[in-house]
Amino acid sequence: MLVSLLAACDQGAQQQESQPESQPEQQKVEQSTKVAGVTLVETVKAQPGKTVIPYEKYVLDNGLTLILHKDNSDPLVHVDVTYHVGSGREELGKSGFAHFFEHMMFQGSENVADEQHFKLVTEAGGTMNGTTNTDRTNYFQTVPANQLEKMLWLEADRMGFLVDAVTQEKFEVQRETVKNERGQRVDNRPYGRLSERVSEALYPAGHPYSWPVIGYMEDLNRVNVNDLKAFFLRWYGPNNATITIGGDFDVNNTLKLVTKYFGSIPKGPEVSMPEKTAVTLDSDRYISMEDNVHLPLLYMSFPTVSVRHADEAPLDLLSTILGGGKTSLLYKNLVKNQIAVQAAVTHPCAELACTFNMYALPHPASGKSLADIEKIIRDTLKEFEKRGVEDDDLLKAKAQMESAFVFGLQSVSGKVSQLAANQTFTGNPNYIEEDIARYANVTKEDVLRVYKQYIQGKHAVIMSVVPNGKPEMIAAKNNFNAPERKLAEASQTSEDELQLRKAKDDFDRSKIPVAGANKPVDVPQMWQDELANGIKILGAQSIETPTTSVLLKVSAGHYYETPEKAGLSSILSSMLNESTKQRSAEEMTKELEKLGSYVNISSHDHYLTINVNALTKNFDATMVLVKEKLLQPAFEQSDFDRVRNIAIQGVKNSKKNAGYLASTAYRQLLHADNIGALPGGGTEASLANLTLQDVKSFYEKHFKPSGGQLIVVSDLGQGAVKKGISMLSDWQGKGPKLALELPQPKSETGVIYLVHKDNSAQSAIRIGKRSLTRDITGEFYKSYLMNFPLGGAFNSRINLNLREDKGYTYGARSYFSGDRLSGSYTASAEVRADATDKSIVEFINEIKNYAEKGITAEELAFMRNAINQKDALKYETPGAKLGFLAQILEYDLTPAFVKQRADIVDSITAEEINALAKKHLKLEEMIMVVVGNSKVLKPQLEALGYKVINYEI
């Protein structure tokens, strides 16, 4: 639970870096292709025994790089456009521009109307997004194969024809959206400003990594729309971009389409690699911050190298030895003995710099201060100096590296992303083999050398984050203040200063390309079986990567608990990840890491689930360890005490998160006084009630194979897979059937339940009611279709209103959710605190208008196209196939349900949808939950005419 709160602490962990071009075993080609204006540079083919992504690389006359990866395994294509520009190319005082353009690029261009990009991609049955980091911005879509030309038209229009469509009005709306994003992801999130503060202290003033990727809001407030346009004209030319296309397409036709839509876009200014300035510190810099958190945190950051530097790989390995999970030294010295609830080491890298980061959150019961934690961390470094590097350290790192690369190739999007990043930062799409080699070649001496060079005796930024009003908890007195941002008076760009570039075409760009017929999508071929102990098996073969994925579902979830012991299943799942009768948790983790295998055990409402991902060559060995985990848990008292205490601290910490508070209150109000009202992870009180004997008894009673469901996707055939699974046949027993009813609650409807959260930059809103239980082809599914244009897509009524029109939120939606016992209808968002009452009004208006006036003909057509063209994306990866097969097994379906759903989408009428809306969107039956500063919000909400009830979690 704490991990999610700290996941954003290290920015740029996946960023790459530019290095001299290196192209092993590639066929260099100099001649031009038959398509005018585009030159074939090289062809790389698959090589037996090597991890290679086949591709062809081209360059257009305007400098645009094109990479094509053909993969006919599924009738879809993935299109990625990566621009070599991130926050690291921004100027002092003009931060956040690169991220801002991630938003603006979806707001329409000269030939694409406002919000039309989202509409066209969604209607095509596709998915899309954009991301920004310090060094690059990318935009990507995955769509059915017949939609490729439309995607190229969309991407070309925003590359070559965006500037004239960037209006002051769009600028203002998206500036509000960015502020909402910052509020949700940074300001309103525990520890959210940690990375920003550390970067300000670590890098010298003016260094492009000294400001956050999202930027400072005062910078966006002081610039005008022409400043944004000038930034676009400087960096978003075709010569600073790479288009990578993967999937099912015709190469020659694609070359013609890319040349048609992109070839006439004029080249932008020349782009050179920014200077890399080594970052050094002349002393330890102690800084601190008070935050709305439950637990204090100590964070140490050492400057190191830059990505793909020769020392990056050994530094990564060093970070794993010191703080990479249960086999690490920090885990042993801080977490295992309950001094800290969490401790880790990371080494994120970016184009200009990397940092070696160590952090820990002390356990309140340990009595240790942040100063104590710092000393233990420094003592751990001394311990490493004596311990050195062991053989298993290298074996684990190399196995994990191999499996990470292979698992990354399971989807077309994964392969395209790898090609695009490698081309952008190295000039060589085929860098994957070199990446593997540089980790495989790390020696013990390399790890010790980089430790001495970058960590031992070196200075760091040491950050203390302490609860509000507790400044005395910091590790040491602050001795460093980041230089004040001295910004020159804003010099805004005039329209005359813009150096516009216009493409000249011999075709009409305003015409949207018409897609051909959808290619048929084959439902995965399945096989069924059952073990003698009652575990039902459903499997499918996927030969694209040498991997095997297993999902085992056991009827031992949250619903099998009693309210006073809520959290039992969750604690059991954690205990199954601890010691066995044969091995300690550390030894088990080490064995799995040496295989490059991943085992995740987690608890849900109905089931306790075991997810296994392994390289097929290590599948049998992995299943031996999985069997040991499941059937021979040691249930050590020390493991239980630590797991339970960490869970309690996680609940306390989560209460600082507005989204957690809203969801928890909402769940309580939707259910009567039973287990359904309580969070799956338990409450502070219920977790404190648990004993080790409770866990043992729950395991012995409920963790039984009979009735279990096992779904498997592998490149192996049924016989070979069955061999690996059959070792679970020794597991015997049958648990009790679930005897649980979830009656309707007595919560007051038509009112607002207000949960207080101090200093809340945003308010979390939930509006909804108990509703249908889940079905596959019945009223629940039809209601999902009904809600799609209201709140089920990006360009739904609710999201366009609250996000795009009003700028109140980063995102708003509505949805039906449910299982076999209960269901609900929910509208939700996190909104600007000062727009809480206005957001409630807009939510209510949208739901009311849709219920009263119904769906439009355009929305009905949009919904049909969007839903029925999604099939190509449903079965692509092993993970997607697992989810699809799991649904079939749980609801006892045949593959024919896919056609039944398609027929429903085609035949459902506006009258049916409108009747469902009137039936299920009755506002008088709904409750509203708002989390925020109650002192400010209560009078505002009462002014809307609602009864407001103060509610405590």
pLDDT tens string 746-782: 899 999 999 999 888 899 999 999 999 999 999 999 9
Residues of the chain with CATH 3.30.830.10: 2-11+278-411+426-473, 27-275, 526-730, 752-875+884-950
At what angle are helices 857-868 and 779-791 packed, to 10 degrees?
A: 110
Per DSSP (E only), the strands in 771-842 are: 809-818, 823-832
Percent helix / strand / coil, the chain, rounded to 5: 45, 20, 40
Nearest alpha-carbon partner for 475 in 287, 331, 648? 287
787/773 Cα distance (integer angstroms): 16
pLDDT (tens digit per residue) in 223-277? 888 888 899 999 999 999 999 999 999 999 999 999 999 999 999 999 998 888 8
Report pLDDT for 778.
Answer: 95
Determine the average pLDDT of the residues in 577-605.
96
Residue 608, Cβ density class (10 Å: 0-12 exposed, 13-18 middle, ≥19 buried): buried
pLDDT at 351 over 90: yes
**Is residue 1 predicted with pLDDT exceeding 60?**
no
Does the pLDDT value for residue 813 go beyond 60?
yes
User: How does strand 948-950 pair with strand 752-756?
Assistant: parallel
pLDDT for position 2: 42
Instruction: For residue range 883-894, list pLDDT tens digits in order.
Output: 999 999 999 998
**What is the SS3 string spanning 633-699?**
ECCCHHHHHHHHHHHHHHHHHHCCCHHHHHHHHHHHHHCCCCHHHCCCCCCHHHHHHCCHHHHHHHH
What is the predicted pLDDT for the residue at 10?
Answer: 40
CATH topology classification for 526-730: Cytochrome Bc1 Complex; Chain A, domain 1 (3.30.830)
Condensed to tens digits (0 to 9), the pLDDT of residues 157-166 reads 999 999 888 8
**What percentage of residues in the chain have a pLDDT greater than 70?**
96
pLDDT at 488: 66
Beta strands across the sheet bearing 762-770: 809-818, 823-832, 762-770, 927-932, 752-756, 948-950
Residues with Cβ within 8 Å of 747's Cβ and at least 6 positions away in sequence, in order, are: 669, 670, 753, 927
- Please, are residues 87 and 208 in contact by the beta-carbon 8 Å criterion? yes
State pLDDT tens for residues 607-632: 999 999 999 999 999 999 999 999 99
Beta strands in 65-145 (DSSP E): 65-70, 76-83, 127-132, 137-144
Mean pLDDT of the chain: 92
Q: What is the pLDDT of residues 467-493, one digit of tens each?
A: 999 999 999 999 999 888 777 666 677
CA distances from residue 902 to 76, 77, 642, 790, 910 in whole angstroms, order as listed? 18, 22, 50, 20, 16
Residue 793 has pLDDT above 60, yes or no: yes
Instruction: Tell me the CATH class for 2-11+278-411+426-473.
Output: alpha beta
Q: Is the pLDDT of residue 34 over 80?
A: no
Parallel, antiparallel or unpaired: strands 241-247 and 76-83: antiparallel
Place of tokens 């769509």: 143
**pLDDT score of 489:** 67
Rounded-to-integer distance, Cα 23 and Cα 278, Å: 28
User: What percentage of the chain reaches a pLDDT higher than 90?
Assistant: 77
Q: Give CA separation, 542 vs 48, 403, 546, 548, 882, in Å.
A: 18, 17, 9, 9, 11
More confident residue, 276 or 328: 328
Structure tokens given for 802: 């609250």
CATH of domain 752-875+884-950: 3.30.830.10
| H/E run at residue 629 | helix 619-631
Contact 175, 457 (CB under 8 A): no
Query: What pLDDT was estimated at residue 710?
Result: 97
Residue of higher predicted confidence among 23 and 645: 645
Residue type, 654: S
- Return the half-sphere exposure (C-beta side, CA atoms, 13 A cut-off) of residue 725: 31
The confidence score (pLDDT) of residue 490 equals 63
- The stretch 11-17 carries a mean pLDDT of 34
Give the tokens for residue 85.
């520009």
pLDDT at 900 over 50: yes
For residue 30, pLDDT over 90 is answered with no
Q: How much is the average pLDDT of 58-64?
A: 97
Distance between CA atoms of 65 and 243, rounded to whole angstroms?
6
Q: Where are the beta strands (DSSP E) in 681-774?
A: 709-714, 752-756, 762-770
HSE (side-chain half, CA atoms, 13 Å) at 224: 8
27-28 and 38-44 as β-strands: parallel, antiparallel, unpaired? antiparallel
Q: Are 327 and 303 in contact (CB under 8 A)?
A: no
Does the pLDDT of residue 156 top 70, yes or no? yes
What would the mean pLDDT of 368-382 be, rounded to a whole number?
98
Residue whose entry in the numeric block shows the structure tokens 């004997």 = 693
Please name every residue paired with 714 in a beta bridge, in sequence order, or none if there are none.
541, 548
> Which pLDDT band, with edges at 50, 70 and 90, does 167 fall under?
confident
- Residue 191: which residues within 8 A CB-CB, separation 6 or more? 5, 6, 8, 9, 291, 293, 297, 465
Name the helix (H) or strand (E) containing 344: strand 340-346
Q: Which two tokens stand for residue 159?
A: 């590359």
- How far apart CA 357 and CA 463 sit, in angstroms, is 11
CATH dotted code for 27-275: 3.30.830.10
Whether residue 130 contacts residue 139, with contact meaning beta carbons closer than 8 Å, is answered with yes
pLDDT given at position 115: 85
Average pLDDT value for residue range 672-692: 95
Burial class of residue 445, CB neighbours in 10 A (0-12, 13-18, 19+): exposed
pLDDT on residue 718: 94
pLDDT value of position 283: 97
Best CA proximity match to 727, nearest among 636, 608, 612, 615: 612
